Amino acid sequence: MQIKVYSDEDYQNLLDETSYPIWNLIGAQIEINGPDTVLYTADTLTYRAKFLDNSLQNAYEGFAKYHWTLPRGWRIDGNDKSSEIKVIPDSIHGGKIECYAYLDTSYYNYSQYSESDKAQKSITRDFGTINISGPTSVILGDTDLKTYSVQGVSFYDYTWTVGSDMTITSVNRNSSNVSFHCNGGQVRCTIRHKYVNDQTQVSKTVSITKPRPAIIGDNVVCSNKTFQLSSTPRNLTHTNWLASSNVSINSSTNTSASIHINQSGDSWIKANIRILDCPSYDLDQRYFWAGAPLRPDAQPAYATIYQSQLLTLRVSTPPKGYPDTYYWNVTGAIQIVTSPTGSQTTVEGQSVGYGYYTVTAHNKCGNSPVVHGTVKVERNVIIHPNPTPKDVYVEIKPSEKLKSSKFDPGDEVHVEIYDINSGTLLQKMTFYSNEFKVPMSSYPAGIYLLKVKKDGHEYSTKVIKQ
């Protein structure tokens, strides 16, 4: 069918010319927009009719009329001839929503419309998403009642069921009180509509969480000590305490154990607990150390340094036994220049020769076996040959007091030669290197004092001229 679209002016002119303008919209297809699944508990819904042909929609928007047919028990709230309607559904029926579009209310002839001229939308009813509220986890031993509930609707009936190790103690329509024993499971609710043969079932899985209190006590135990649970689980009925082979359990209760140390070394204690009459289970082991620390590993065991050079001695890996202090001692050609009680210390070469160090680890139970080390100290100003037939060569080794052997431009080394007997200054020289030659071929045979000065430090030695 061809439909001619008129303007408002054309429409008024046509009304003036004839008393029976059949301005229907037979054959003009429309659609209904709105929900097709409606909850039994739905309140107000909105539906809207719309021409599939956009040109018709634009032409007739505002003065086309609509005839709506709703499912049983539903009603329109407001204007029932509009393209958009507010619908209040009942709580039972589904069915179809139908709609016809027409132009003139006065001359509207419903019988002229066929099934193909109307828009239809099938409506189904549904419970929608229903959730059970209530805890999803219960602590083993917690015998307090837990309440589970769903949305309460007057036209619903509710049936509650639970797992085999759970008990429903009371029901109040849409809620139930549940007690738990050793195991969890499902809390289920079957919801039935009172007036429609329709039902749904929802469930919530509830787990049982085993309480796991920590075993608390010292990290280092010297002789006797008590370990205890950090908290006491509800309805704790029995605790079995176990310990490593070097530890004896003197006495125990459900929440604590008194131990005695038989031998030093790695140790542990653990507890197996039972709550109510449920199966027992182990708590995490508590590890600790019994006795004084083991021997530490100190580095370097042997080293060579020059006079005034610093050397760091350190415990490379802390020994077992939770040491809280280290005691360093030195003798011979080295001296401690930093803290003697940390896991590392610094020594300085003092005189040419050998220095020796010891270190022990300490905790509240005592000291570890002693560790020994050796440090050789060499001269940091080397003069050779000595005695010499003519010249001597000076080599300055790196140290903390003298700059490194890599010479920096601008560094000066001052050399002075004295008569050993009279103390008379015979010659002064300046060099710009850490390795240089001091000419002495013009000096008569004898003994001389050679002084080397750098970075504010002075080193002296006797030189024999042949």
Domain harbouring 389, CATH code: 2.60.40.10
Looking at residue 2, what is its pLDDT? 38
Q: What band does 15 get if pLDDT is binned at 50, 70 and 90?
A: very low
Give yes or no: residues 370 and 443 share one domain: no
What CATH number does the domain containing 190 carry?
Answer: 2.60.40.2020
Q: How far is CA 26 from the centre of its chain?
A: 68
Cis peptide preceding 300, ω within 30 of 0: yes
Domain assignment of residue 1, yes or no = no
Q: Has residue 20 got a pLDDT over 50?
A: no
Residue bearing the bigger pLDDT, 201 or 104: 201
Give the Cα separation of 112 and 271 in Å (integer).
89
Measured in residues, the chain has a length of 466
Q: Has residue 381 got a pLDDT over 70?
A: yes
Q: What band does 452 get if pLDDT is binned at 50, 70 and 90?
A: confident
Q: Has residue 112 got a pLDDT over 80?
A: no
- Look-up of token digits 């030659």: 437
Looking at residue 14, what is its pLDDT? 42
Q: What band does 33 get if pLDDT is binned at 50, 70 and 90?
A: very high
Domain boundary among 378, 401, 417: 378
What total number of domains does the chain contain? 5
Provide mean pLDDT across the span 388-402: 77
Yes or no: say if 360 and 367 are a contact pair by the CB < 8 Å rule: yes
Give yes or no: residues 392 and 356 share one domain: no
Domain assignment of residue 118, yes or no = yes
Give yes or no: residues 261 and 354 share one domain: no
Q: Has residue 55 got a pLDDT over 60?
A: yes
Q: What band does 310 get if pLDDT is binned at 50, 70 and 90?
A: confident
Nearest alpha carbon to residue 23 among 12, 34, 38, 32: 12
Which CA distances in Å does 366 have to 122, 295, 383?
88, 12, 49
Domain boundary among 209, 232, 252: 209
SS3 452: strand
- Taking residue 425's Cβ as centre, other Cβ atoms within 10 Å add up to 12
Domain assignment of residue 3, yes or no = no
Q: Would you say the C-alpha torsion 296, 301, 303, 308 has a positive or negative sign?
A: positive
Q: Has residue 1 got a pLDDT over 80?
A: no
Domain assignment of residue 276, yes or no = yes
**One-letter identity of residue 44:** T
- Taking residue 379's Cβ as centre, other Cβ atoms within 10 Å add up to 15
Domain assignment of residue 262, yes or no = yes
Domain boundary among 209, 225, 244: 209
Yes or no: say if 179 and 166 are a contact pair by the CB < 8 Å rule: yes
Provide mean pLDDT across the span 138-166: 96
- pLDDT tens sequence across 166-197: 999 999 999 999 999 999 999 999 999 999 99
Provide mean pLDDT across the span 216-231: 96
Q: What band does 276 get if pLDDT is binned at 50, 70 and 90?
A: very high
- Taking residue 29's Cβ as centre, other Cβ atoms within 10 Å add up to 14
Looking at residue 451, what is its pLDDT? 87
Both tokens assigned to 413: 């080394």
Percent of the chain predicted with pLDDT > 70: 88
Domain assignment of residue 419, yes or no = yes
Give yes or no: residues 161 and 244 share one domain: no
Looking at residue 409, what is its pLDDT? 45
Give yes or no: residues 385 and 342 share one domain: no
Q: What band does 281 get if pLDDT is binned at 50, 70 and 90?
A: very high
Give yes or no: residues 112 and 12 share one domain: yes
Give yes or no: residues 245 and 324 share one domain: no
Which residues fall within 8 angstroms of residue 390, CB to CB, at 6 or more apart? Answer: 439, 440, 441
**One-letter identity of residue 262:** N
Residue bearing the bigger pLDDT, 283 or 102: 283
Provide mean pLDDT across the span 126-149: 96
Give yes or no: residues 254 and 349 share one domain: no
Which CA distances in Å does 101 have to 30, 48, 111?
8, 12, 13
Q: Which of 176-180, 257-261, 334-338, 456-460 has the lowest mean pLDDT?
A: 456-460
SS3 163: coil
Looking at residue 398, what is its pLDDT? 66
Give the Cα separation of 219 and 322 in Å (integer).
7
Give yes or no: residues 116 and 156 share one domain: no
Domain that residue 316 falls in: 297-378
Q: Which of 15-29, 57-71, 232-246 has the lowest mean pLDDT?
A: 15-29
Q: Would you say the C-alpha torsion 152, 154, 155, 158 has a positive or negative sign?
A: positive
Give the Cα separation of 346 and 117 in Å (integer).
101
What CATH number does the domain containing 265 carry?
Answer: 2.60.40
Give yes or no: residues 148 and 111 share one domain: no
Please give the mean pLDDT across all residues of the chain: 87
Give yes or no: residues 41 and 115 share one domain: yes
Q: What band does 407 get if pLDDT is binned at 50, 70 and 90?
A: very low
Yes or no: say if 80 and 36 are a contact pair by the CB < 8 Å rule: no
Give the Cα separation of 302 and 371 in Å (integer).
12
Yes or no: say if 73 and 46 are a contact pair by the CB < 8 Å rule: no
Q: What band does 111 get if pLDDT is binned at 50, 70 and 90?
A: low
Q: What band does 109 get if pLDDT is binned at 50, 70 and 90?
A: low
Give yes or no: residues 62 and 106 share one domain: yes
Domain assignment of residue 223, yes or no = yes
Domain assignment of residue 423, yes or no = yes
